[in-house]
Copies of this chain bind each other. A is one copy, B any other.
Amino acid sequence: MDKRIERTRHEVLSAAIALLGERGYAAFNMEAIADKAGVSKSTLYRHWPTKVSLIADALNTLNVQPRPGPADGTVRERVTILLRHLTEALTASPFASCIPGLIEATKHHPEVADFLYDYSARRRERLVALLRDGVAAGELPADFDAETAATALSGAIFYRCLMTPDPYQAKDVPALVALVLGSQGGT
């Protein structure tokens, strides 16, 4: 029974992401999701009272950020793992096709801005924490600006996805990491 509930939940979340990617936020509605996932609208509202609560749950459940630790290598290597995941999320996954619509919706729907800004901040936090570990371990210089670096690294990947026909691929990440982390501080 629990498994069936979990499967249904997954179907609802996948349907929500797919519809959001196709239609954008304004045209995305609970009725269409209920139809697509084969559940009743009242079930949907019982679990997700608002469109944005459903989107938040879908992105958190379906786009799981890796949590690289010391066993995964140097801080540079762990940063590379995190950023490779971001390039994959922004190319292959249904998540990628939602981003433009969510960005547009931040302008007209304050609840979407609150969600997207908070979501991005939490994703960036893991990168900032890794960079600070690099400073603590002596892999990065003591005055390394982890916040600015996390913005430049994430920003480069989002920029290539949103503003060019040529999104960063996983293979492009090492050059970006080398540029932003520099060769100072040793490995």
A-side interface size class: 35 or more
Contact residues in B for A175 (Cβ distance below 8 Å): 145, 148
Whether A19 sits at the interface, judged by CB under 8 Å, is no
Q: Which 5 A-B pairs have the closest CB atoms?
A: A155-B159, A155-B155, A104-B104, A155-B156, A152-B156
A interface secondary structure, majority: helix
Number of this chain's copies in the assembly equals 2
Contact residues in B for A165 (Cβ distance below 8 Å): 113, 117
Partner of A180, one of B113, B116, B152, B158: B152
| Cβ contact within 8 Å between B163 and A159 | no
| Cβ contact within 8 Å between B163 and A120 | yes
Contact residues in B for A151 (Cβ distance below 8 Å): 156, 159-160, 176
Which among A104, A107, A121, A153 has the greatest number of chain B C-beta atoms within 10 A?
A104
Whether A38 sits at the interface, judged by CB under 8 Å, is no
Question: In the bound complex, how far is the Cα of B157 from the Cα of A165, in angstroms?
Answer: 19
